[in-house]
């Protein structure tokens, strides 16, 4: 029996397999609204056999978008189209998750394919109220952020809470909090971006305070029977930054607050990061956090091969694997991987005649 294609139980949910779709920004929204692009993009992963499909980073405030074209969930008007997407994907057997996010000092920036990159000026649809723990930009061509006041921090927490309430109404079954890749929650956690001297800066306990408070606020309104995930960058890959030991400590505290799984990515906080990239290069983070924090983990990062993914789950390195670019190349990767591994998996009846025998 395939480990990768065995079910996994997260609270009241049973996922049909352990293949998850990582959040992948599409930069295809107008004022935060999902569109037919999102329906087809996410729907393809559901029909392709993934167990869990997670939306791209979905901003909890307008100023929390990475780009002006990011998906949003700060307005009730965003709910109907999101509901259309979750209804379709759930009907195909996938569990639907939403990644709630705030971009922090990496907000108001251009889409990756636009040149030149960097900050989007107000005259072109950007905004000047970019927020961060401290007034330290990510790089010279990124916006110069304002340090969040205590009232601003309270507003962020309330916005994540409101986003979770809307997510439930929109039919999502899993919430993932984005505390990775150099966005707001990660910025507070890392000494590279956080130079505060108040209760939200300095010590480890202070730097993780916002992430814990957001977690508590969301868990309080997210149904007990539904899972909560947190994506973290396990290391900044930069001297003096956030590190794996701190990630283990944080994961212990998140588990105690009702988090069910840690999505283990890395990097994105420091423009001077030094990353050694290779197949499965982030899997050791998932293995270490799973073992030392006693919490379920998902492994990510250049996982492309069915046998590779099977081994990660089978040897206990992680409970799930989350794929991204490989699924953009082939949204039906789970169906093909199951065939490679000799696992039984349901195909959409419309595609059954294409099943490999």
Across the chain, mean pLDDT equals: 97
The domain limits of the chain are 8-352
The predicted model gives 260-272 an average pLDDT of 96
pLDDT of residue 124: 94
The predicted model gives 142-161 an average pLDDT of 98
At residue 342 the predicted structure's pLDDT band, cuts being 50, 70 and 90, is very high
pLDDT of residue 352: 95
At residue 188 the predicted structure's pLDDT band, cuts being 50, 70 and 90, is very high
Give residue-wise pLDDT tens across range 190-246: 999 999 999 999 999 999 999 999 999 999 999 999 999 999 999 999 999 999 999
Domain 8-352 has CATH 3.90.1210.10: no
pLDDT of residue 357: 83
Helix (H) or strand (E) holding 350: none
- Among residues 39, 64, 2, 15, the alpha carbon closest in space to that of 226 is found at 15
- Alpha carbon distance 181, 103 (integer Å): 9
pLDDT of residue 57: 98
303 neighbors 326 (Cβ within 8 angstroms): yes
At residue 164 the predicted structure's pLDDT band, cuts being 50, 70 and 90, is very high
- What predicted TM-score, i.e. pTM, was given to this entire model? 0.97
179-188, 272-281, 318-327: which range is least confident on average? 272-281
- Among residues 171, 197, 176, the alpha carbon closest in space to that of 60 is found at 176
At residue 165 the predicted structure's pLDDT band, cuts being 50, 70 and 90, is very high
Provide the token pair at 126: 């950007």
Report CA-CA distances (Å) from 32 to 193, 331, 349.
27, 24, 34
The predicted model gives 326-352 an average pLDDT of 96
Active site residue 183: yes
Provide the token pair at 18: 């352990």
- Catalytic site residue from 142, 183, 200, 351: 183
120 neighbors 126 (Cβ within 8 angstroms): yes
pLDDT of residue 156: 98
At a CB cut-off of 8 Å and minimum separation 6, what does 319 contact? 8, 18, 261, 290, 296, 297, 298, 313
At a CB cut-off of 8 Å and minimum separation 6, what does 145 contact? 104, 105, 130, 131, 132, 134, 135, 136, 137
Altogether, the residues listed in the chain come to a count of 357
20 neighbors 50 (Cβ within 8 angstroms): yes
């Amino acid at each position: 029996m395939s480990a990768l294609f065995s079910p996994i139980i997260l609270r009241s949910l049973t996922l049909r397999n352990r293949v998850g779709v990582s959040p992948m920004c599409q930069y295809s929204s107008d004022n935060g609204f999902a569109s037919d692009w999102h329906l087809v993009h996410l729907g393809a992963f559901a029909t392709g056999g993934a167990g869990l499909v997670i939306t791209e980073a979905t901003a909890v405030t307008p100023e929390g978008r990475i780009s002006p074209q990011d998906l949003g969930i700060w307005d009730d008007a965003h709910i109907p189209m999101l509901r259309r997407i979750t209804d379709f994907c759930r009907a195909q057997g996938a569990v639907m998750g939403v990644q709630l996010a705030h971009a922090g000092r990496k907000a108001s920036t251009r889409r990756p394919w636009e040149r030149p990159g960097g900050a989007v000026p107000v005259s072109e649809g950007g905004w000047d109220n970019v927020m961060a723990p401290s007034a330290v930009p990510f790089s010279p061509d990124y916006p110069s952020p304002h340090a969040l006041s205590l009232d601003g921090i309270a507003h962020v927490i309330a916005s994540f809470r409101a986003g979770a309430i809307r997510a439930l109404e929109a039919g999502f079954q899993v919430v993932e909090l984005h505390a990775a890749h150099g966005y707001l929650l990660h910025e507070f956690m890392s000494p590279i971006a956080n130079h505060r001297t108040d209760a939200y800066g300095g010590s480890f306990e202070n730097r993780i305070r916002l992430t814990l408070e957001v977690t508590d606020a969301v868990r309080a309104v997210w149904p007990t029977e539904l899972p909560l995930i947190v994506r973290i960058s396990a290391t900044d890959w930069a001297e003096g930054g956030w590190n794996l030991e701190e990630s283990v400590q944080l994961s212990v505290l998140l588990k105690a607050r009702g988090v069910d799984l840690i999505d283990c990515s890395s990097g994105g906080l420091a423009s001077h990061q030094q990353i050694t990239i290779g197949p499965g290069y982030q899997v050791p983070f998932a293995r270490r956090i799973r073992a030392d924090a006693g919490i379920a983990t998902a492994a990510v990062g250049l996982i492309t091969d069915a046998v590779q993914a099977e081994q990660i789950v089978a040897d206990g390195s992680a409970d799930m694997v989350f794929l991204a670019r490989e699924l953009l190349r082939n949204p039906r990767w789970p169906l093909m991987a199951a065939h490679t591994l000799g696992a039984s998996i349901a195909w959409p009846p419309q595609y059954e005649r294409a099943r490999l025998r």
